[in-house]
Structure 1
């Protein structure tokens, strides 16, 4: 385990694969930590430098006082990549991680040569919806949202299996301050205009049974970027890298090969 001290936040990160390989960076969703990608990683091609991190307020990273801004989450990612001397990476962001990916590409195109925007959008839900969720967590903790979130996150078949309880447990064990902070960051984000100005290789991924960022919402965002490709993973919800890791890795491999990253 490694920690990058960025001043106002300390980020837990992990590097796997080839230390000299082409960098690929993974940013996870609200309520999860970097283990989100565990099932999928063994199916990635060799020769990659695989970088994962816990965003602020999640996993083993520090949890500054809420609320957070999306700008702060973007600065965190920027600071980590600068700390690791990463340039020209492929950045894979899922849900809030995909919002960070969009913002980072707008701000620091020198860091990113390709984007994978997974189960995400330029704008997710409404400030009123996020305000309700924040209030619920303040009253009853993350537990208040856990069951309804699992229904949005997973396909019906996966939700019926005991496996989904691992993710429920992960969610409720995140720091409350971090969860609230990231809810506020999503609530205040509308990237339709900046994302429409992006010009770089982009892959969009959606899950057919995603109740948090439905396929049409994901595709609407992907269509903002000229030449971007959209892929739908069937029998998967908001976390297709968990439910369909082999197919998810195959899409990443095809994208990486197509842009000459491997």
Structure 2
């Protein structure tokens, strides 16, 4: 099991595909384990090397006492990239992971490009609680998926819902670690520093996102110097709900 260390914090990561290909790093939403990237991992590995890492607090990474800051998570990602020997990478981030991607691009030259799924330039107005489910409570995990997916998706894919609940029970953050990650979202604000993120940026957002409103995605694309917006019908976890459409757009963007 490969791990990297940022001080005393051990960080799990997993790389798949040809190491001679360009690397795509996948950074996830608050509270969720690496399960959330199964759909993009399957679609991108091969043409690219994919690197999935659990943010501190979730999955197989350590969960030190919080609160966390986006700066902490950026330092964690830098440690993972150093351990894996990658200098320049494409970064795909969802929710909190998108905030980490933005800050990584602002403070370093590592990102070749950014793809931001359901994220926002500022977190103080967001209420993330509907997305949280205690991993020890399967009913709470299933109920909280009502904030992550559209009603149409939930009704059409009960098998996916059942599998996601199982994955969440195994990998998601505890209540304490969730609160520590949510604090990083709440404190984040890049709204007066858009100009410092001067890499190509694809912003993909679910039009029916009930927690991270689509207006935030539109603002990101409008304000980033090289931003492009794509709206898709669906909820917050648009990379799962509309995986084919998201993957097609990622291929077109990253390939360019």
Q: Same fold (TM over 0.5)?
A: yes
Q: How does 1:15-54 map to 2 (within 5 A)?
A: 15-44=15-44, 46-54=46-54
Q: Secondary structure at the match of 1:193?
A: coil
Alignment match of 2:161 (pick from 155, 160, 164): 164
Q: Kindly indicate whether the alpha-carbon contact (under 8 Å) linking 1:13 and 1:52 is maintained by their aligned counterparts in 2.
A: yes
> How is 1:206-217 mapped onto 2 (pairs within 5 angstroms)?
206-217=205-216
Give the aligned CA root-mean-square deviation in angstroms. 2.4
TM score, norm. by length of structure 2: 0.88
Aligned residue runs from structure 1 range 77-88, under 5 A = 77-88=77-88
The answer to which of 154-163 and 181-190 deviates more is: 154-163
Structure 1 pair 154–125 and aligned structure 2 pair: CA distance change class (3 A): farther
Superposed, 1:50-69 pairs within 5 Å as 50-69=50-69
Alpha carbons 1:45, 1:253 under 8 Å: kept: no
Residue 123 of structure 1 is matched in structure 2 by: 122
Equivalence map 1:208-247=2 (5 Å): 208-234=207-233, 236-247=234-245
2:247: which partner in 1? 249
C-alpha distance in structure 1 between counterparts of 2:255 and 2:45, whole Å: 10
CA–CA separation in structure 1 for the residues paired with 2:42 and 2:16: 11
Q: Deviations over 1:70-96 (max 9, x none)?
A: 211111111211222212211000000
State the shift of 1:112 in Å: 0.8
CA contact (8 A) 1:151 1:211 kept: no
Does residue 1:150 correspond to 2:145, yes or no?
A: yes
Q: Using the alignment, how far apart are the partners of 1:196 and 1:224 within structure 2? A: 8
Matches within 5 A, 1:102-121: 102-108=102-108, 110-121=109-120
Moved over 3 A (4+): 140-149, 165-173
Q: Mark the runs of 5 or more structure 2 residues left unpaired by the alignment.
A: none
